[in-house]
Structure 1
Amino acid sequence: MASAAEQLAANMNFGAFQKATELHKRIWFTLIAMVVYRLGTYIPIPGISPAAFAEAFQGQAKGILGMFNMFSGGAVERMAIFSLNVMPYISASIIVQLLGTVYPPWEKLRKEGGEAGRKTLNQYTRYLTVILALFQSFGIAMGLQASEGLVDNPGLFFVVSTVVTLTGGTMFLMWLGEQITSRGVGNGISLIIFAGIVAVFPRYIGQAFSLARTGAMSGGALLVIALLIVAVTVAIVFMERSQRRILVQYPKRQVGNRMFGGDTSFLPLKINTAGVIPPIFASSLLLLPTTVMGFAVGGAGSNLPAWLQWLPGLTGQLQHGQPLFMLMYGALIVFFCFFYTSIVFNPEDTAENLRKYGGFMPGIRPGKRTAEYLDFVLTRLTVIGAAYITLVCLLPEALIGFYNAPFYMGGTSVLIVVSVTMDTVTQIQSHLLQHQYEGLIKKSKLRGTRGR
């Protein structure tokens, strides 16, 4: 027999959506926030020559800046105020979470601080975001100024204005993402990245057809890429919805004259517990040093000192489709799969919570043995999840290297788009379900009042 929640979910229709006025407000707020974000990607920073920068960007479009441009929704090629996007915030989150596992005071805040500890760590993340954004924007400003013809009036004023503008843009997007999370639908930071990727999809699709029309890419290759995108999308949906359900039983207990418990439930463990975080974290960590190196090499040209002559070669190897880039990218994805899974799911805490409420797994002793079993199962699932994410993200890199294609509309981008879409739809369904529950509660209260 279906549960009450399943019956409510089955009865959700367009009529239920029309009655959920609170959900309407959340959706409208999210859409308006996305429009504001997209408008910011078209406002260039002051002092830049747009034509000269667009010409200079074409030489870097297939490199690491091409992926950065995709995540920012085309803001990089226009050198807009949102060019840094939320990447400094993501990098700061990585650092804070890493320190939260090795630095005792922050580890205590994460484990025992509760809501107050979480807010404190979030505040540290914001402070670190400002520092990283200042560092990256200063590197960009110096790189732009060193390149001849890109800046109208180079000097201290241009550097200061660029640093303030880019850092302010990142902080605004961080604030906007938090507002979407609390007042809109879905995860704000993920939706900002999602909007940037979706915005450049039509252009990359047009480039693919243009390459096929001019003969630079065969029609068969284009068909293979299209079929791979469909196959990858289906695989992502299948893997993201897959889970391992562990049986948990609760013994009967007597409270007064009534008997409670004796229920059976399942503990669901997703194959991909980390979600889209590993490829985003890996991309941001690769973008941070290589972007600065690219601007430094481009600005210095052939005037690099002897002890830095290796920089151009290393920068070239850290481009899309290159073996070193694929190796580092894959290694970082695997690392963050295990690292982030260990953060979001703690087997010892879960085993302790089950023991407190009397839950146990058949054939496994509560406490330490339960934690060991959960860790064993989770490790095996993470191996499968890490392999799946790595393959999905490296497949387009191999295609880029093989076909020399100037677009990145597979792997990481499809993973982010599909995962964020599924998460947002799930949250919308949760709001609809909550609205129906509230309606049932109000009706039951009215009936109880009439009965009196």
Structure 2
Amino acid sequence: MFKTLRNAWRVPDLKKKIIFTFWMMAFIRIGAHIPAPGINRAAVESMMNADSNNLLGLMNVITGGAFSSMAIFAFGVGPYITSSIIIQLLTIAIARLEELSKEGEDGRKKINKYTRYLTLFIAIMQGSGTTLMLYNSNVLSEKTPLMFFLTLLSFVAGSMLVMWIGEQITEKGIGNGTSLIIFINIVSSLPNEIIALLSYQNYIKAIILIILFVILIAFTVLMALGERRINVQYAKRMSGRKVYGGQSQHIPIKVNLSGVLPVIFAMSLLQFPEIITNLFVKHPTDGWMTVIENLRWTTPVGAIIYLLLIFGFAFFYSTIAFNPVEIASNMKKSGGFIPGIRPGKPTSDYLSRIATHVTLIGAVFLAFLAMTPLLFTAIFDMQVAFTGTSLLIVVGVALETIKQLESQMLMRQYKGFL
């Protein structure tokens, strides 16, 4: 990885892109410390610290602490990611969007325009709900309509600005703008984690924690790169005097095909009743509060539901991202076949069975990572935020960024890399 970065720094064009990306990420970190107008930061931080092992705590990690202080970048790239996922799902359900996705550059531009509009709508809805929660919790310095509007406007403008910065990093930087923004926000919490670890009194447990953390990083990298390769043989065919085909290729099925999305979706759905209650119900009944407390993932019932949701979303996303019927059809048209498997429906059934087994392994991996904060807290009596979901995001973005740099150097025929 460091060799790739060093080689990329020697290419003048890539060096400019790296410097541009650095300044954009520095601007993101500055915006994460600029508070929105009318926010009582002490009251917000006390509300966040009450329960950090929930969706709000995860959102605070992804935004690099901006959410806990209600800065102008409090929502980060959250609305943009949500809108992108929604558009991706609608592309499968709506024929018009599916046609646009196949029209090349022009279709991609139209889909990006729809994504931006949906991002604005989600930012307004999310900002309105958060501002209303702050208003009802007496967090705003002045409970006036003007202050409500200014706070909401700052949240929405901040979200759109972060989206624009991510697009600029993708176009003028080293790529993966949205992912890099999440990456730098998560990594920014490392100094606080290191300070907390150094202040830990039990040095033996601290050393064991560091060793386990290194093992967890290696395990995460292994699973992020892991894939099941299915051999595909293409039959030879004559076209004029030339012979085509006959080569052997493979279909890669990633172990963690859905990434970190099942964990985020599961946490969002699990915390949805509590968030709605905080927004719109001032005096909930004791029975309803008992239900909400049991739904928290730190309780046995909540943890079981949380794990079941992770498995469910992992298989749901796998069926969307990997279509065995379409792959089998394309293989049959191009004269490809899996050795020992007949073309057509037997091939699609075989691919579906393999994808199910691989997805199960990926779901177990995600469930284990999602529960690591509770395991570390129970074993070491120390709250560690930089585990599980955060680690998976950081590892995935780092590997993808290195691949981007390598591909850009290959395009420039950089001799030192080749």
> What's the CA shift for 1:382?
0.8
Q: Contact conserved, 2:186 with 2:390, CA < 8 A, in 1?
A: yes
Does 2:403 align with 1:426?
Answer: yes
Deviations 1:187-226 (CA, angstroms, capped at 9, x unpaired) = 222221111110012212322333x23xxxx444433332
One-letter code of the match for 1:265? Q
Q: Provide the residue aligned with 2:128 in structure 1.
A: 138
Q: Contact conserved, 2:232 with 2:338, CA < 8 A, in 1?
A: yes
Q: Provide the residue aligned with 1:153 in structure 2.
A: 142
Q: Contact conserved, 2:54 with 2:271, CA < 8 A, in 1?
A: no
Does 2:13 align with 1:26?
Answer: no
Does 2:216 align with 1:232?
Answer: yes
Residues 216-231 of structure 1 aligned to structure 2 (within 5 Å): 218-231=202-215
CA distance in 2, matches of 1:83, 1:20: 36
> Among residues 41, 44, 67, which one is paired with 2:32 in the alignment?
41
Q: Provide the residue aligned with 2:258 in structure 1.
A: 274
Does 2:322 align with 1:322?
Answer: no
Task: Give unmatched runs, 5+ long, in structure 1.
Answer: 1-11, 441-452
Residues 13/110 of structure 1: CA separation in 2 closer, same or farther (3 Å cut): closer
Residues 144/321 of structure 1: CA separation in 2 closer, same or farther (3 Å cut): same
Residues 310/348 of structure 1: CA separation in 2 closer, same or farther (3 Å cut): same
Does 2:64 align with 1:73?
Answer: yes
> Among residues 168, 173, 179, which one is paired with 2:157 in the alignment?
168
Q: Comparing 271-280 with 193-202, which one deviates more in the overlay?
A: 271-280
Deviations 1:150-180 (CA, angstroms, capped at 9, x unpaired) = 3222110111111111111112222222232
CA distance in 1, matches of 2:63, 2:45: 16
Q: Contact conserved, 1:320 with 1:397, CA < 8 A, in 2?
A: no
CA distance in 2, matches of 1:418, 1:353: 33
Number of aligned residue pairs: give it: 416
Task: Give unmatched runs, 5+ long, in structure 2.
Answer: none
Q: Comparing 30-39 with 331-340, which one deviates more in the overlay?
A: 331-340
Deviations 1:296-340 (CA, angstroms, capped at 9, x unpaired) = 67xx4xxx15xx444544444455633344334323322232222
> Among residues 312, 327, 332, which one is paired with 1:335 in the alignment?
312
One-letter code of the match for 2:350? Y
Q: Contact conserved, 2:271 with 2:296, CA < 8 A, in 1?
A: no
Residues 358-397 of structure 1 aligned to structure 2 (within 5 Å): 358-397=335-374
CA distance in 2, matches of 1:374, 1:45: 51
> What's the CA shift for 1:21?
2.8
Q: Provide the residue aligned with 1:205 in structure 2.
A: 194
CA distance in 1, matches of 2:198, 2:292: 30
Does 2:328 align with 1:345?
Answer: no
Residues 298-317 of structure 1 aligned to structure 2 (within 5 Å): 300=282, 304=283, 308-317=285-294
> What's the CA shift for 1:39?
0.8
Q: Contact conserved, 1:41 with 1:82, CA < 8 A, in 2?
A: yes
User: Secondary structure at the residue paired with 2:188?
Assistant: helix
User: Secondary structure at the residue paired with 1:364?
Assistant: coil
Pick the structure with greater CA Rg: 1
CA distance in 1, matches of 2:83, 2:331: 33
> What's the CA shift for 1:120?
4.5
User: Secondary structure at the residue paired with 1:259?
Assistant: strand
One-letter code of the match for 1:244? R
Q: Provide the residue aligned with 1:406 in structure 2.
A: 383
CA distance in 2, matches of 1:401, 1:123: 46
CA RMSD of aligned residues (A): 3.1
CA distance in 2, matches of 1:169, 1:353: 44
Under a length normalisation based on structure 1, what TM-score does the superposition of the two structures give?
A: 0.81
CA distance in 1, matches of 2:258, 2:325: 18
User: Secondary structure at the residue paired with 2:195?
Assistant: helix
User: Secondary structure at the residue paired with 2:412?
Assistant: helix
CA distance in 2, matches of 1:378, 1:240: 16
CA distance in 2, matches of 1:387, 1:106: 36
CA distance in 1, matches of 2:49, 2:307: 27
One-letter code of the match for 1:142? L
One-letter code of the match for 2:117? Y
CA distance in 1, matches of 2:384, 2:279: 21
User: Secondary structure at the residue paired with 2:253?
Assistant: strand
User: Secondary structure at the residue paired with 1:436?
Assistant: coil
One-letter code of the match for 2:158? G
Q: Comparing 109-118 with 243-252, which one deviates more in the overlay?
A: 109-118
Q: Comparing 167-176 with 250-259, which one deviates more in the overlay?
A: 250-259
CA distance in 2, matches of 1:164, 1:58: 25
> What's the CA shift for 1:380?
1.1
